Amino acid sequence: MTVHQIAIPIVCFAFIVAYHGYEFVRVGETRKLFAQVRKGWVDNCVLTGQQAVNTTRDYIRVASALGGSSIIIAIFVAGVASGHFADCANSGTGCTQAEVLVLVKLGTLVGLMCTIFFLFTQCARFAIHFSFMINTREMNSVPLPPSLMTRVFDHAHWYYSVGIRAFFVTIPVVSWLFTSWCLLGVTPVYLLVVHGIESSAFMSEPLLELKAKQQEQQPEQPQQQDVT
């Protein structure tokens, strides 16, 4: 096993994790907008019956489909890794460093897919809770506040957002299965494409108009006069 086979994956995945961590922690205009949209949707759909249930059901279906596909891929890759390990372990000479590296790569992909499965399962779990809450008039004779519903919905969407980002990471992981040099070539292209996906430039003008209208509707603060 050469130095570049160790150094290149460490450097590439460090850049990828750092980028996604920065983008996830940074609250940009796109995330602010869609957080407000979710809040507005909850406020408008409380106790509306089937309308809210249909939208939430579609959301749960998407999360379930993504989670289900990830665990199927994880089981398939784990089966391939198990067969590969059995072949090299029973060869008489044991697994070589190259074969161990292949197992590490396959194990990384399996771990990533299992993580994605967990994330989307949690998303569906809290989305199901939310689907009950949005049509609940009161609890113990106390009205259920929309702010609590929004909090649960945002929590479900947190898992959804992380799960989507984790799905993106499968691209460099799969490229690593070929060679470390392939990973090195894919990483800058991958970061450039993902950065373009995250950009909100496509809606900058309508977003500015929306902000202007929101500012117009805000009541003006009365100016305080100094009394001497």
Q: Residue with structure tokens 């990483």?
A: 187
What's the pLDDT at 223? 54
Does 202 reside within a domain?
A: no
pTM of the model as a whole: 0.82
Residue 204, in any domain of the structure: no
> Which residues of the chain are under the pLDDT cut of 50?
226-228
Structural domain includes residue 2: no
Q: How far apart are CA 164 and CA 116, in angstroms?
A: 8
Residue 131 lies in domain = 54-137+146-190
pLDDT by residue (tens digit) across 172-213?
A: 999 999 999 999 999 999 999 988 887 766 666 776 777 777
Asked, for residue 41, whether it belongs to a domain, the answer is no
Q: Which residue bears the tokens 């249930």?
A: 53
In a domain, 217, yes or no: no
Whether residue 18 is contained in a domain is answered as no
Cα–Cα distance measured from residue 106 to residue 39, given in angstroms and rounded to the nearest whole number? 41
Phi and psi at 96, nearest 5°, equal -75, 170
Distance of CA 228 to the CA centre of its chain: 57
**Cα(144)–Cα(46) distance, integer angstroms:** 10
Whether 150 and 39 have beta carbons less than 8 Å apart is answered as yes
* Overall number of domains in the chain: 1
Model pLDDT, residue 142: 83
Residue 117 in any domain: the answer is: yes
Q: How far is CA 124 from the centre of its chain?
A: 13
Residue 228: per-residue pLDDT: 39
CA terminus-to-terminus distance, the chain? 81
The answer to the question of residue 198 being in a domain is no
